[in-house]
């Protein structure tokens, strides 16, 4: 079979793919399943609090929250009429313009109602049948994920949880309770975490998830997770999107912003493992690169630019900037006492190590042809106004320690830092963090108050895990910063191995016994979303107690002993939340709590009563007051771009009407209007005072405006980075960035690198952000499964070698686990690399041990590196044709509905 | 008012399917029917480097998307074939719509439409298709798909106006030829657009009829 047939596998095999007949058959099955969820049919579902029982009335739009942590934030609303929820809508409150765009939602945001009304909403508290409290044999831990469930009352459930918490703390101490949170750990666990912080604390986790090495290592270099203001980006002549696909990873406005730049004449090139959707819309050129080899590519490009600069009499490189603002580029600009041979330029040229980092050297590693490396490097260097925007993805590899320094060096050489139209850096992982300070301030993140939420409750320090203050900002930085002396946390990569092997790493030479006896799952689906899901399952079966509170039967609920049903954000009061830096959203309650679901804070309060914890400190004031406080505390910038004033106008009447305590204030928008609109936008125009150019002040005056780095300059050479990274105990680096092969990287796909003989796992796997999931959120929505396929993407050349065609089911195996997925052969991915979107809810077939859902972290292992970030893009696999039973298409999978409705 | 038409800027479409989602939502459709469908078209190839057998060079690898619903054609095949006359074309706006009361779900419209725009929902045996969100138009709103497009790649208007502003392209791979039905569709072609279906392939795993 030639590669053409491989690509068109379905037609080649069956002469026509799915017939209308079978298509119709699925639709009828799903119509039935969906009808049970209550959304489809009449088109309206569930009474909102203030309209229940109302007769035929005019409908109204209610602004609603989309609480997933996708990295972006659209505006969503739903039409509510006669007590029922109808169609979804988005921002249409202003005329759409390029300077003041509507904040339109994505397909997932629109699908929120299917999430709220999904058939697998948890209805009642549940207990795993063969689990008994008290530890020991009666836990029957091996049955986790295999057992049956029994419905219990809230009182039973809360008593069981409280008694187990008491028993475990008495026997082993508070550190025996591991309550992992990902992004939320940055902010201090709310609700039940806050409750435990009032009574001895709990073990928190640490280590970057989405930011990879950018969040932890880049601050040492002075390179920020930040980009120039979107209006300034229009001044760029060339924008390099490196591993950067906002069309999939930051759905909503960001790709539109870049498209506006393109309309104005900005050129784009994309460097990535695949011709991604963003490059499809923007870029005239795609530069393919293998995962985990971006440092090699950047070194190869640096070599080209250095050599060409030499030929042109130093006229190509931005020497002025390098000399004034950077440390470590050449022997003349090193910190006192450093070895003069240890500089970037000589490393690239191979002056002392005998290996010039030529395009040929780089090409062997990164897979980009040498002539393409040269041409790309020169194009970037020769462009006056050039920006290099890198997503965190290339930093989510096991050899990423050198990445920020290398990208800094290359960007600085090319003149791409600190000027209009010029920025080099990462996009910060979340759109509301980039492009400078917020023009509106306040609000929650993912439905929870954070350290930056004005008007929120006083944050409490976890007595076990502390706050891990950032060395550079002195703010809590529990994700990226190793726990402060006297505190301890378990790194994400060791969460499961510590339980299985008995020890965890606190620092270099500081290995301690693992204290974990109990897992408390809140809203971080870490079993599914941290590397090593099969290890997670094994680890869960060894514990004394696992409790999970969730709104749906997500992975941690499947492996828990007690499951507590919680409300969605639509069943709560609604909240104030960031959108982009120019917008802030105010959502409202849509419906009453479904079934027996309760708010997390209610669970915390009930447990506090049983554990003798001070409820006054837990919730000092009612939720309605908290929401009001946050609205009142929100700020908006004045036209000067410096002064912040209250956003919301509140009268005495407003305060009395809401039954809250407060002081009237003057702002930009009346509180009732804000509630009705659900959104406030700061208008923008060219030449306003809200612009932002990263590192401009420093570039203009490096002595007068030094950076927070060790030397006050941009550090291509960073002794402090090496010192702090090495102190974590997982990797040893020097102060100068150097390419080293990744654990489970390209080099390891060979059994004999010299002769290029492939080994047992010949393909690299990249785990990408797709549109079906926002991480694991929305993993249960049939409508999104129907719209967005979740295949194993493979180049036709590799498919041919592996003996699979499009439409086949493939078995994908790494040393950590096995998944099956439909095959999609596509030329948009570089040969030698396969990709899978992350977020599917693991679904193990007990007979074969194979994951049928295609959970990426079944394949990705918890390899230890750097500051303990999770290296989702370092994984090697083999792909072969699956000969077992083929499951139905994902859209037709049954919901995880444990109990039918009463 | 003259014939209404959709404008689709395939050059900046990212295939995010917000239009599909908005369409299903406004029609309140369950799984199955997808009256607006975002097609993709992929192609190009990889060749082993002449000097290095581990190095592959891409030659013209491309991908683009085209979002298409009912095109409210000048000569609608669905109207011609409908045995019960439920499928009609409005003489004023040119909107082709289906009277669900009268529709018997026989599927002949689906079979005959080159774009497969009418989609049969078997659970109620009706053909669902784009009606230009005419209720929204009457309420001075835009069609749901146009109003939601995050890339601002979709627009609508009178066919003659859209052609005057954007040209008259309405053929591109993998769409069927426009000759048969005369679609009210104006495309801005992707810069890598192909006219011939044999120059690439579509990659939707479970949909092969569009």
Q: Which residue of chain B is at minimal alpha-carbon distance from A795?
A: B46
Q: Cβ–Cβ of A831/B201 closer than 8 Å? A: no
Query: Can you give the length of chain B in residues?
Result: 210
Nearest to B74 by CA among B101, B55, B58, B95: B95
Q: Which chain B residues are within 8 Å of A809, Cβ to Cβ?
A: none
Q: Is the pLDDT of residue A807 over 50?
A: yes
Nearest to A644 by CA among A655, A654, A633: A633
One DSSP character per residue, B112-174 reads: H-TT--SEEETTTTEEE---TTHHHHHTT---HHHHH-TT--EEEEEHHHHHHHH------TT
Nearest to A856 by CA among A892, A799, A817: A817
Q: Cβ–Cβ of B203/A104 closer than 8 Å? A: no
CB atoms near residue A589 (< 10 Å): 20
Sheet holding A386-390, edge to edge: A285-288, A267-272, A238-242, A386-390, A424-426
Chain B nearest-CA distance from A421, in A, is 22
Q: Is B188 on the interface with A (CB under 8 A)?
A: no
The answer to whether residues A13 and A807 touch, using CB atoms and an 8 Å cutoff, is: yes
What are the tens digits of pLDDT across the range A413-423?
999 999 999 99
One DSSP character per residue, A274-343 reads: B--HHHHHH-SEEEE--TT-HHHHHHHHHHHHHHHHHHTTS-SS-HHHHHHHEESSSTTS--TTS-TT-S
Greater model confidence, A437 or B162: B162
What are the tens digits of pLDDT across the range A374-405?
999 999 999 999 999 999 999 999 999 999 99
Return contacts of B81-90, CB within 8 angstroms, 24+ apart: B81/B108, B81/B109, B81/B111, B81/B112, B82/B108, B82/B109, B83/B108, B86/B127, B87/B118, B87/B127
Find the Cα–Cα–Cα–Cα dihedral A694, A700, A704, A709, rounded to 10°: 40
Side-chain half-sphere of A24: how many Cα atoms within 13 Å?
A: 18
User: For a pLDDT cut of 90, what percent of chain B falls above it?
Assistant: 96
Looking at residue A9, its pLDDT comes to 54
Furthest CA-CA distance within chain A: 83
Q: Which residue of chain B is at minimal alpha-carbon distance from A891?
A: B31
Closest CB from B29, B110, B151 relative to A20: B110
What domains does chain A contain, in order, with CATH numbers?
Answer: 126-202+440-580+583-681 (3.40.50.740), 220-435 (3.40.228.10), 746-892 (2.40.40.20)
Nearest to A293 by CA among A830, A678, A856: A830
What are the tens digits of pLDDT across the range B143-184?
999 999 999 999 999 999 999 999 999 999 999 999 999 999
What domains does chain B contain, in order, with CATH numbers?
Answer: 4-48+56-198 (3.30.70.20)
Q: Is the pLDDT of residue A902 over 80?
A: no
Looking at residue A41, its pLDDT comes to 31
At B154, phi and psi to the nearest 5?
A: -115, 140
- Kind and range of the H or E element at B187? strand B185-188
Q: Which chain A residues are within 8 Å of B56, Cβ to Cβ?
A: 367, 797, 830-832
At A721, phi and psi to the nearest 5?
A: -60, -50
CB atoms near residue A884 (< 10 Å): 13
Q: Is the pLDDT of residue A331 over 90?
A: yes
Q: How confident is the model at residue A185 (pLDDT cuts 50, 70, 90)?
A: very low
How far is it, in rounded angstroms, from Cα B137 to Cα A705? 56
Q: Which chain A residues are within 8 Å of B20, Cβ to Cβ?
A: 107, 787
ipTM: 0.98
What are the tens digits of pLDDT across the range A230-278?
999 999 999 999 999 999 999 999 999 999 999 999 999 999 999 999 9
Chain B contact probe: residue of A29, A110, A750, A774 with most B CBs at under 10 A: A110
Q: Which chain A residues are within 8 Å of B141, Cβ to Cβ?
A: 92
Q: Which chain B residues are within 8 Å of A10, Cβ to Cβ?
A: 205, 208
Q: How confident is the model at residue A437 (pLDDT cuts 50, 70, 90)?
A: confident
What are the tens digits of pLDDT across the range A339-375?
999 999 999 999 999 999 999 999 999 999 999 999 9
Q: Is B62 on the interface with A (CB under 8 A)?
A: yes
Chain B nearest-CA distance from A287, in A, is 9
Furthest CA-CA distance within chain B: 67
A-B CB pairs within 8 A amount to 191
Greater model confidence, B103 or A119: B103
Q: How confident is the prediction for chain A on average, in pLDDT?
A: 91
One DSSP character per residue, A192-249 reads: HHHHHHTTT--BEEES-SSSTHHHHHHHHHT--S----HHHHTT-SEEEEES--HHHH
How far is it, in rounded angstroms, from Cα A434 to Cα A799? 39
Q: Cβ–Cβ of B31/A30 closer than 8 Å? A: yes
- Kind and range of the H or E element at A87? strand A84-89
Q: Is B100 on the interface with A (CB under 8 A)?
A: no
What are the tens digits of pLDDT across the range B6-28?
999 999 999 999 999 999 999 99
How far is it, in rounded angstroms, from Cα A186 to Cα A206? 9
Q: Is the pLDDT of residue A47 over 60?
A: no
The answer to whether residues A412 and A714 touch, using CB atoms and an 8 Å cutoff, is: yes
Nearest to A33 by CA among B36, B32, B107, B21: B32
The answer to whether residues A273 and A766 touch, using CB atoms and an 8 Å cutoff, is: yes
How far is residue A787 from each of residues A98, A784, B26, measured CA to CA in Å? 29, 5, 16
How far is residue A65 from each of residues A62, A74, A678, B145, measured CA to CA in Å? 10, 9, 10, 21
Collect all residues with Cβ–Cβ distance below 8 Å to A519 and sequence separation of at least 6. A177, A178, A179, A180, A540, A543, A545, A546, A547, A556
Beta-strand relationship, A510-513 and A503-507: antiparallel
Q: Which residue of chain B is at minimal alpha-carbon distance from A35?
A: B30
Closest CB from A92, A247, A827 relative to B147: A92
What are the tens digits of pLDDT across the range A523-544?
889 999 999 999 999 999 999 9
How far is it, in rounded angstroms, from Cα A53 to Cα A56? 10
* Alpha carbon of residue A738 to chain centroid: 27
SS3 of A435, please?
coil
Q: Is B163 on the interface with A (CB under 8 A)?
A: no
Q: Which residue of chain B is at minimal alpha-carbon distance from A784?
A: B21
User: For a pLDDT cut of 70, what percent of chain A falls above it?
Assistant: 92
Residue A822 is encoded by which pair of tokens? Answer: 């439909």
Q: Cβ–Cβ of B14/A43 closer than 8 Å? A: no
How far is it, in rounded angstroms, from Cα A523 to Cα A800? 41
The answer to whether residues A258 and A282 touch, using CB atoms and an 8 Å cutoff, is: yes
Flag whether the pTM goes above 0.90: yes
- Kind and range of the H or E element at B8? strand B4-9
Q: Is B61 on the interface with A (CB under 8 A)?
A: yes
User: For a pLDDT cut of 90, what percent of chain A falls above it?
Assistant: 82
Query: Can you give the length of chain A in residues?
Result: 902
Q: Cβ–Cβ of A30/B208 closer than 8 Å? A: no
SS3 of A604, please?
helix
Residue A842, beta-bridge partner list: none
Q: Is B136 on the interface with A (CB under 8 A)?
A: no
Chain B nearest-CA distance from A796, in A, is 9
Closest CB from A280, A771, A892 relative to B63: A280
């Amino acid at each position: 079979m030639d590669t053409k047939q491989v690509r068109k596998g379905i037609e080649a095999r069956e002469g026509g793919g799915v017939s209308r007949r079978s298509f119709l058959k699925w639709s009828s099955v799903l119509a039935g399943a969906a009808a049970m969820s209550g959304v489809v049919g009449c088109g309206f579902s569930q009474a909102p609090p203030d309209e229940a029982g109302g007769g035929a009335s005019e409908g109204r739009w209610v602004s609603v929250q989309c609480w997933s942590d996708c990295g972006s934030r659209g505006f969503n609303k739903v039409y509510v009429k006669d007590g029922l929820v109808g169609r979804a809508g988005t921002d249409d409150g202003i005329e759409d313009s390029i300077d003041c765009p509507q904040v339109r939602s994505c397909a997932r945001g629109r699908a929120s109602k299917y999430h709220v009304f999904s058939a697998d909403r948890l209805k009642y508290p549940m207990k795993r049948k063969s689990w008994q409290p008290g530890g020991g044999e009666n836990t029957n831990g091996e049955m986790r994920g295999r057992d049956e469930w029994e419905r219990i009352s809230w009182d039973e459930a809360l008593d069981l949880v409280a008694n187990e918490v008491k028993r475990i703390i008495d026997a082993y101490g508070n550190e025996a309770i591991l309550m992992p949170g990902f992004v939320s750990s940055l902010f201090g666990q709310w609700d039940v975490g806050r409750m435990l912080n009032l009574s001895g604390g709990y073990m928190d986790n640490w280590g970057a998830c989405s930011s990879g090495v950018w969040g932890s290592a880049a601050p040492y270099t002075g390179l920020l997770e930040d980009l120039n203001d979107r209006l300034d980006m229009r001044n760029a002549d060339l924008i390099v999107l490196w591993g950067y696909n906002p069309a999939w990873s930051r759905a909503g406005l960001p790709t539109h912003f870049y498209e506006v730049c393109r309309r104005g004449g900005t050129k784009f090139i994309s460097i990535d493992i695949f011709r991604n959707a963003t490059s499809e819309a923007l870029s005239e050129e795609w530069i393919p690169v293998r995962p985990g080899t971006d440092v090699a590519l950047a070194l190869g490009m640096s070599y080209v630019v250095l050599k060409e600069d030499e030929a042109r009499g130093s006229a190509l490189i931005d020497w002025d900037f390098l000399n004034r603002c950077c440390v470590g580029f050449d022997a003349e600009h090193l910190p006192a006492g450093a070895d003069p041979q240890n500089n970037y330029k000589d490393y690239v040229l191979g002056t002392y190590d005998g290996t010039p980092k030529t395009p040929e050297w780089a090409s062997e590693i990164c897979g980009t042809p040498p002539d393409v490396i040269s041409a790309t490097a020169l194009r970037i260097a020769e462009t006056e106004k050039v920006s290099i925007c890198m997503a965190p993805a290339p930093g989510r590899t096991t050899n990423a320690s050198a990445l920020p320094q290398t990208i800094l060096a290359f960007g600085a050489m090319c003149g791409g830092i600190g000027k209009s139209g010029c920025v080099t850096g990462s996009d910060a992982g979340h759109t509301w963090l980039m492009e400078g300070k917020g023009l509106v301030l306040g609000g929650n993140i993912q439905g929870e108050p954070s350290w930056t939420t004005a008007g929120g409750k006083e944050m409490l320090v976890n007595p076990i895990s502390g706050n891990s203050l950032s060395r550079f900002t002195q703010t809590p930085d529990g994700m990226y910063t190793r726990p402060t002396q006297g505190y301890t946390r378990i790194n994400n990569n060791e969460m499961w191995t510590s339980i299985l092997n008995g020890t965890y790493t606190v620092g270099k030479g500081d290995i301690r016994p693992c204290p974990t006896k109990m897992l408390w799952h809140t809203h971080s689906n870490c079993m599914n979303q941290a590397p090593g899901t099969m290890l997670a399952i094994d680890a869960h079966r060894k514990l004394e107690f696992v409790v999970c509170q969730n709104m749906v039967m997500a992975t941690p609920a499947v492996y828990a002993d007690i499951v507590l049903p919680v409300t969605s954000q639509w069943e709560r009061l609604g909240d104030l939340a960031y959108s982009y830096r120019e917008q802030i959203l105010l959502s409202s309650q849509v419906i009453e709590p479904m079934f027996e679901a309760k708010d997390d804070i209610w669970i915390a309060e009930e447990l506090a009563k049983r554990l003798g914890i001070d409820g006054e400190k837990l919730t000092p004031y009612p939720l309605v007051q908290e929401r009001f406080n946050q609205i009142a505390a929100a700020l908006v910038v004045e036209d000067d771009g410096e002064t912040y004033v209250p956003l919301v106008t509140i009268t005495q009447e407003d305060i009395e009407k809401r039954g809250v305590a407060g002081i009237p204030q003057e702002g930009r928008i009346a509180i009732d209007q804000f509630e009705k609109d659900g959104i406030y936008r700061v208008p923008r125009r060219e030449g306003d005072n809200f612009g932002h150019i990263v590192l401009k002040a420093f570039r203009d005056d490096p002595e007068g405006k030094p950076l927070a780095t060790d030397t006050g300059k941009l550090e291509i050479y960073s002794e402090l980075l090496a010192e702090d990274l090495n102190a974590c105990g997982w990797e040893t680096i020097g102060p100068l960035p150097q390419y080293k092969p990744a654990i489970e990287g390209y080099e390891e796909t060979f059994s004999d690198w010299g002769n290029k003989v492939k080994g047992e796992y010949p393909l690299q796997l990249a785990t990408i952000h797709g549109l079906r999931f926002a991480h694991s959120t929305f993993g249960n929505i049939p409508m999104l499964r129907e719209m967005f396929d979740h295949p194993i993407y493979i180049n036709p050349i590799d498919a041919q070698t592996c003996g699979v065609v499009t439409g086949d089911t493939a078995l994908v195996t790494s040393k950590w686990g096995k998944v099956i997925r439909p095959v999609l052969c596509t030329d948009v991915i570089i040969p030698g690399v396969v990709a899978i979107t992350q977020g599917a809810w693991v679904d193990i077939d007990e007979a074969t041990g194979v994951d049928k859902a295609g959970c990426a972290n079944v394949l990705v292992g918890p390899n230890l590196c750097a500051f303990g970030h999770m290296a989702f893009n370092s994984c090697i696999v083999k792909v072969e044709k699956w000969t077992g039973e083929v499951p139905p298409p994902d859209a037709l999978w049954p919901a995880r509905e444990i109990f039918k409705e009463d | 008012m003259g014939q209404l038409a959709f404008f689709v800027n395939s050059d900046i479409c990212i295939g995010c399917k917000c239009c599909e989602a908005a369409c299903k939502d406004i029609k309140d459709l369950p799984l199955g029917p997808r009256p607006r469908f975002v097609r993709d078209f992929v192609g190009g190839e990889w060749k082993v480097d002449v000097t290095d057998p581990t190095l592959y060079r891409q030659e013209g690898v491309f991908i683009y998307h085209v979002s298409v619903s009912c095109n409210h054609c000048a000569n609608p095949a669905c109207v011609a074939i409908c045995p019960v006359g439920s499928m009609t074309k409005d003489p004023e706006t040119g909107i082709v719509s289906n009277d669900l009361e009268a529709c018997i779900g026989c599927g002949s419209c689906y079979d005959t439409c080159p774009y497969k725009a009418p989609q049969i929902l078997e659970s109620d045996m009706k053909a669902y298709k784009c009606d230009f969100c005419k209720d929204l138009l009457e309420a001075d709103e835009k069609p749901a798909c146009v109003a939601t497009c995050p890339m601002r790649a979709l627009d609508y208007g009178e066919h003659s106006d859209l052609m005057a502003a954007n040209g008259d392209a309405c053929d591109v791979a993998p769409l069927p030829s426009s000759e048969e039905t005369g679609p009210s569709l104006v495309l801005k072609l992707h810069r890598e657009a192909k006219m011939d279906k044999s120059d690439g392939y579509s990659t939707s795993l479970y949909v092969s009829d569009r």
